[in-house]
Amino acid sequence: MQDQLVTTEKAIIPIAAFAANGDMKNLQVSLVKGLDAGLTINEIKEILVQMYAYAGFPRSLNALGVFMGVVKERQEKGILDAEGKVSTPVSQDTDSLTYGAENQTKLVGQVVSGPLFEFAPEIDRYLKAHLFGDIFERDVLTWKQRELATIAGLVNISGVNSQLQSHYFISLNNGLTPAMLNEFVSILSQHCGEEISSNAQQVLSNVFAIIKEL
């Protein structure tokens, strides 16, 4: 069984991290490296679009603008990057709320509920219908790749450790292994520095401790 991140998966980490915190200079470098590593144009678009659900529209739009410039510059240099697959059309027989709820349950491993969603049922609907429906239903990226992008984005946003912890658990339910998550932290250290990677490791260690007690 593969227990290490492949080259394209490693390339996702800095792209998502710098898109999420708005570091456009380092994002540009990471985008170039991502294309050189074999990520397709459409795969990177998916990563940057998905980041809006965690970091907001402004960061996502800015990141897409930088990527558009990178692609254009490479084309002018005669570098023709692979466009990549497009998403399979979604069945018109089911609405996004229905398949979003199903996707969320599969991702998490159980039905998601709680006081927060009872207090604000609108956010529960938006999460199910849009994030886990409209976005996660798109098959340009695997759920493993999407969760890798998610934790990379969350770790580079301050004050969201509870969400990071939740997505560590989700990632372990969707193809990422403990060894891969440790590798993830190591890659973060290389790109984002000791403070970010130290926090990521602390949250991850807490996740491993919880799992050990189960």
Q: Supply 115's token pair.
A: 């006081």
Cβ-based neighbours of 58, under 8 Å, separated by 6 or more: none
Domain boundaries, the chain: 7-83+139-213, 93-138
Q: Is 173 buried (19+), middle (13-18) or exposed (0-12) by CB count in 10 A?
A: middle
Query: What CATH number was assigned to the domain covering residues 7-83+139-213?
Result: 1.20.1290.10
Q: Report d(CA 111, CA 126) in Å as an integer.
A: 16
pLDDT per position as a tens digit, 42-86: 999 999 999 999 999 999 999 999 999 999 999 999 999 999 999
**CA neighbor of 127 nearest in space, from 116, 139, 142, 140:** 116
Nearest-angstrom CA–CA distance, 148 and 103: 17
167-197 pLDDT, tens per residue?
999 999 999 999 999 999 999 999 999 999 9
Rounded CA separation 193/167 (Å): 21
pTM of the complete model: 0.96
